[in-house]
Amino acid sequence: MFAVNATVQEVLSTLATKTGCSKDQVLVKVNSTGEKVCLKHEDIGAFTSLGLNERLFVCSVQELITLTPLPEQMGPNSSSYDMLDLISSKDLAQQMTENDWNLFKSIHQVELLFNTYGKQKFRHSTTANLERFIRRFNEVQFWVATEVCLCQDEERRALLLRKFIKLAAYLKEQKNLNSFFAVMFGLSNTAVSRLSKTWQRLPHKTRKLYSIFERLMDPSWNHRSYRLAVAKLSPPLIPFLPLILKDLTFIHEGNKNTVDNLVNFEKMRMIAKTIRIFHSYRSQSY
């Protein structure tokens, strides 16, 4: 086991001690296309920073050319329809919310600052918990799109589509807005949205519900629809995290840290307010 803020050098040294392998090894990140990135010895959080289709390999420099992606990195070949059919959308939403809540409450507020200002400005800092939560969003988004596209039977695909829309409804009901957006992003993926014959098979009520959800996702007026909806909710809730990160980035890049050689406290207050709102969402437990 390694600490989340362990450096690549520490990882390689520990492996060399425990396995007896050469110390002249490198830690390599390999994605599903075979692209390789050698990590620097001072890099930290190598495990939590992995993309969805990336894996870590330890090898010598000479062995780099022989590295190939693992079969699991190529993605699934068949739909999990039969398994999903055994689980109700409500139960699935409940399990997802429980998992997401554990990830969400693990994020320390200071990780938002590290992410906003850039980890390079904070030596030995880590945003591991934040990265895990962001990765979770991406996993759900692409899981939905993948499952729909892998389902070959049109009738079954329509039922699966309906199930995911119901899943989004239950996630919204449970105030898990991060996974709600992830599911909706998956359904709005081009590969899914172009399945016109499948969408036509959905009941009018289901399509109407999907249209209502689309309006909540409307990015116009700085996501006004979403912000108004969230303002009416009480904690606990799991917010759409990318929007919070966007707000912090906008505040940081749109305002200087100092004005006339004095600390820009107005900027600091805006950042603090955003982080306080983030913290308030988990002031109570589910």
Task: Give residue-wise pLDDT tens across range 67-93.
Answer: 999 999 888 888 899 999 999 999 999
If asked whether residues 61 and 180 sit together in one domain, one would say: no
If asked whether residues 147 and 258 sit together in one domain, one would say: yes
- What mean pLDDT do residues 80-107 have? 96
Q: Count Cβ atoms below 10 Å from residue 239 Cβ, excluding itself.
A: 20
The structure's pTM equals 0.91
Number of folded domains in the chain? Answer: 2
pLDDT in tens, 146-168: 999 999 999 999 999 999 999 99
| DSSP-based three-state secondary structure for 49 | coil
Q: What average pLDDT does the structure give for the chain?
A: 93
If asked whether residues 86 and 162 sit together in one domain, one would say: yes
pLDDT in tens, 243-275: 999 999 999 999 999 999 999 999 999 999 999
Residue 205 lies in a domain: yes
**pLDDT of 120 higher than 80:** no
Output the pLDDT for position 1: 66
Domain around 253:
81-280
Residue 178 lies in a domain: yes
CATH number at residue 202: 1.10.840.10
**Boundary (domain end) residue, out of 45, 74, 103:** 74
Residue-wise DSSP of 131-187: HHHHHHHHHHHHHHHHHHHH---HHHHHHHHHHHHHHHHHHHHTTBHHHHHHHHHHH
Residue 285 lies in a domain: no
If asked whether residues 24 and 99 sit together in one domain, one would say: no
| DSSP-based three-state secondary structure for 209 | helix
Output the pLDDT for position 49: 84
Residue 197 carries which side chain, given as an amino acid letter?
A: K
CATH number at residue 56: 3.10.20.90
Output the pLDDT for position 15: 85
Report which secondary-structure segment, H or E, holds 59.
strand 55-60
Output the pLDDT for position 2: 72
Q: Are the C-beta atoms of residues 68 and 29 closer than 8 Å to each other?
A: no
If asked whether residues 65 and 99 sit together in one domain, one would say: no
Q: Token pair of 12, please?
A: 């390689």
Q: Would you call 171 exposed, middle or buried from its count of C-beta atoms within 10 A (0-12, 13-18, 19+)? A: buried
If asked whether residues 93 and 66 sit together in one domain, one would say: no
Q: Which of 101-105, 184-188, 239-243, 256-260 has the lowest mean pLDDT?
A: 256-260
Residue 251 lies in a domain: yes
Share of the chain above pLDDT 70, in %: 99
If asked whether residues 151 and 275 sit together in one domain, one would say: yes
Residue 1 lies in a domain: no
